[in-house]
Chain A
Amino acid sequence: MEHVVLKMEGISKSFGDAKVLKNVQFELKHGEVHALAGGNGAGKSTLMKIMTGVYTHDEGKIFIDGKETVIEKPLDAKAQGIAMIFQELSLVQTMTVAENIFLGTEIVKNGIRDVKTMNEKTSQILHRLGMDISPSTIVSELSVGMSQMVEIAKAVSKDAKILVFDEPTAALSDSETKCLFEIITQLKNEGVSMVYISHRMNEILSICDSITILKDGEYVTTQDIKDMTLDKIVSYMMGGTSGKGHKFEWVERKHDENAGDVLKVEHLKVNEKINDISFTLKHGEIVGFAGLMGSGRTEILESLFGLRKKEGGTVILEDKEVHIKNPTDAIQNGFAFIPEDRRKEGLVLMHSIKDNAVLPILDRLCIKGIFNDDKRECALVEDNIKKFGVKAEHINQEIGLLSGGNQQKIVIAKWMNTNPKVIMLDEPTAGVDIGAKGEILEIVRSFADQGCGVIFVSSELAEMMAICDRIIILYDGRITGTISRKDIKLEEELQNAIQMA
């Protein structure tokens, strides 16, 4: 049990100027489930990508079974029996379970694929893992959870000794999660070592044997799970019981508690699950939506912005009911929405900073409603760049070449340019380095100071605590509580409210 299968020592990694891992260590024992925890940007994913050969480390050594090993590409990791279960599944949707499992290693008899043998072998593996799936099922017919099980089976069939799970339960239902945990236990008994990344602390506490915590790219500690509590983990993640990273401190704003409502939502129905959401937002107020993935945070914002069809309820903007059918309506009415996935939903990466920043308001900047006003566009974007401290060479630079933080500032600038009354931000600091995070929060505060309403969604509680005047707790599509900033003393209270709701 004490045999160390994998050891990483002094691992450092930089992307350009940003140092994402600083002298990190990690040790994985035979047949254990090892949790890897830390806030967004702590470096968990980067560390695992180094382990699986997706990235190469700048400094440090990797030992497998005590021998120093070079892992420079995914194939190296595969040869060592290291496999990652991807969040975005890597199965071919149109092929059968067996075909996927034997993809690239097909069993051939006389030059012809031996379907029967492959199906039988797949059956054995599936059976061993306690999965009730037929090998000849087409993958696209399986649920997300089932597909994930197949992915695990695929890794196991290749004799994987080390499995990495990155947020495996994010898209799973409760029963599927249970099933996954049974498989993990089974694999553990077979002597497979596993790394388990999750934001869900109760899962870590129930399934893992030990935990390593990272913070801002630095190693914090490794502990046995039986010595840990939720409070302890969270405080390690935040870097000590007292400290809350100086960037994320609550800043008192002049905010008129008697201001009128800018937005009032009554009995909003988005789908069967999210069917009765009511809340208000005052001028100059920042309200947070806290909840686990799947609690309905994003869906509510998308519905308000006209991206999802609203099935019922009323939306009242500055005392007038508004009917928003699409984003164009939303923008005209004064809504802005900074989406979760900057690269897919926020930006046209191949276009310039300027073209991106003025995209929603080209019609407002036109001369005589027809011709683009290049001078005004440039002046506006130059001003954006200065105001938000965007580091770029010039406004015609391709935006895909900027860092995540600078890209995100342009997304925010793009929406500020529409002069919104209500701005909704969905995970605005995801994948953004710690310095830019603080700056983005500052921008959001200044925006609220101008009298606009802000709805802020983030998985990072420290961030929510630093910026929100009020936090609405969502669980499974319902509002289960509202907490005023003043009533939350410790982050753990909020954590508990979200998880145990």
Chain B
Amino acid sequence: MQSKWHKKLEVSKFTVYIVLGIVFIFFSIALNGKGFIAPRNLLNILRQTAMVSVMAVAGVFVLGAGQIDLTVGSTAAMSAMFSALVLQATDNILFAVIIALLFGVFVGCINGLLVTKLKLPSFLATLGMMQAIRGMAMWITDTAAVPIKNQIFNNVFGTGYIGKVSVLILWTVFFYIIGFILFNKTRFGRHALATGGNELASKYSGLKTEKIKMMIFMMSGAFAAFAGIMYAGRMQSGRYSFGDGDEMSVIASVVLGGAAMSGGTGSMIGALAGSLLMGMINNALILAGLSSAQQKIVNGAIIIFAVALSNIVQNKKRK
């Protein structure tokens, strides 16, 4: 009986890969004539999902620790604004990147303090912060976009290619390697999961759970800021609207990848698969000629379906 449970646990871990595989095969056949399976299109999917994928690296830690971070999308926008403005003023790439990243860490720090010191639920704390930051991004230039003329910056963080591969994809791979090691091979990952799995037991085991949560929010802020830099490079500008709705895509990716909203579980590679799954669906819907309104509807339905599927598998295991 026990081994059966064990097998089901394994199935639930692989749900996202199975769904990814099925969806891929389905679109390959259904959209055969429209070039879905062409290498260029596939690389395009990876390129388009890069920002959400990078944010999802930190998202695995956030949800694993039983928290939620809704600020990532607006932090990305504000960081893009900052780097664009700094480049406009100084043309110094390093300076622009540092300012943007510092801003991300700063946001994470505030989020962390609200959650650990004022004991706000992270959903509410980051909901408020999300609005405030988006407002700041609009206000700082009165909603005007800031163009970035520094082509080195744009190349390195957004538009460049190495061989046939976009730098956006390379950055994604880089961050997933870091994320994978941090999550699976260091105690930080285990501490995050333990905090989300049972905070009281973790405290009793000598873990400084508040410090762990602080670190995770700061990490999430930094990753969101880097995603903002990627947006800026790709669009060769800073714009307040960048990353709108990305916080939801990040949560969906991480949950599709096997994390529970209640914390304690999660998978780095699963989150990447979740993000790719959503990117793939978006891409396919565009190729299929759906309007953006229709895309939203289908997208919503697919998220519900996929999460419900993994929940059903999980619940079976519990019974």
Contacts and interface: CB of A to CB of B under 8 A. Distances in A.
Interface string A48-91: 00000000000000000000000000000000000000000000
Contacts of B42: none
Interface string B193-213: 110011011111111100000
Interface string A322-340: 0000111011100001010
Contact of A362 (B5, B6, B187): B187
Nearest to B263: A350
A330 B197 contact: no
A405 B203 CA distance: 22
Contacts of B208: 326, 328
B185 A346 contact: no
Interface in A336-364: 337, 339, 344-351, 355, 359-360, 362-363
A94 interface: no
Contacts of B202: 348, 359
A370 B198 contact: no
Contacts of B264: 348, 350-351
Contacts of B193: 348, 351, 355
A349 B5 CA distance: 15
Contacts of B205: 327, 331, 359-360, 414
Contacts of A351: 193-194, 197, 264
B200 A401 contact: no
A366 interface: yes
B187 A401 contact: no
B291 interface: no
A393 interface: yes
Given A344-B198, A348-B201, A372 B187 contact: yes
A233 B316 CA distance: 46
A497 interface: no
B255 to A, nearest CB: 16
B232 to A, nearest CB: 32
A277 to B, nearest CB: 21
Contacts of B265: 350
Contact of B207 (A337, A345, A346, A359): A359
A307 interface: yes
Contacts of A363: 187
B203 to A, nearest CB: 6
Contacts of B5: 398, 401
Interface string A403-430: 0000000000010000000000000000
Nearest to B189: A372
A327 B191 contact: no
Interface in A300-314: 307
A359 B264 CA distance: 13
Contacts of A332: 206
Contacts of A339: 204
Contacts of A331: 205-206
B194 A348 contact: yes
A49 to B, nearest CB: 19
Contacts of B194: 348, 351, 355, 359
A360 to B, nearest CB: 4
A362 B186 CA distance: 9
B201 A345 contact: yes
Interface in B190-245: 190-191, 193-194, 197-198, 200-208
B9 interface: yes
Interface residues of A, number: 31
A372 B206 contact: no
B203 A393 contact: no
B90 interface: no
Q: Which of B201, B202, B205 has the most CB of A within 10 A?
A: B205
Nearest to B265: A350
Contacts of A366: 186-187
B204 A327 contact: yes
Contacts of A362: 187, 190-191
A337 B203 CA distance: 12
A15 interface: no
Nearest to B208: A328
A331 B205 CA distance: 8
A397 interface: yes
Given A348-B198, A359-B194, A371 B204 contact: no
Nearest to A366: B187
Contacts of B9: 398
B197 A344 contact: no
Contact of A345 (B3, B191, B197, B204): B204
Q: Which of B187, B194, B265 has the most CB of A within 10 A?
A: B187
B198 to A, nearest CB: 4
Nearest to B196: A348
Nearest to B260: A350
A337 B187 contact: no
Nearest to B193: A351
Interface in A478-495: none
Given A362-B187, A370-B186, A393-B2, A349 B206 contact: no
Q: Which of B6, B184, B191 has the most CB of A within 10 A?
A: B6
Nearest to B211: A328
Given A349-B198, A398-B9, A371 B206 contact: no
Contacts of A337: 204
Given A328-B206, A351-B264, A345 B190 contact: no
Given A330-B206, A345-B200, A347-B198, A393 B3 contact: yes
Q: Can you list the 10 inter-chain pairs with the closest CB atoms, starting with the nearest?
A: A348-B197, A362-B187, A331-B206, A348-B198, A360-B205, A328-B206, A327-B206, A359-B205, A360-B206, A345-B204
7 contacts: A307-B203, A346-B201, A348-B264, A349-B198, A350-B264, A362-B187, A362-B191
Interface of B: 2-3, 5-6, 9, 181, 184-187, 190-191, 193-194, 197-198, 200-208, 264-265
Interface of A: 307, 326-328, 330-332, 337, 339, 344-351, 355, 359-360, 362-363, 366, 370-372, 393, 397-398, 401, 414
Given A326-B206, A330-B206, A346-B201, 13 more contacts: A307-B203, A328-B207, A332-B206, A339-B204, A344-B198, A344-B200, A348-B193, A348-B198, A348-B202, A355-B194, A366-B187, A372-B184, A372-B186
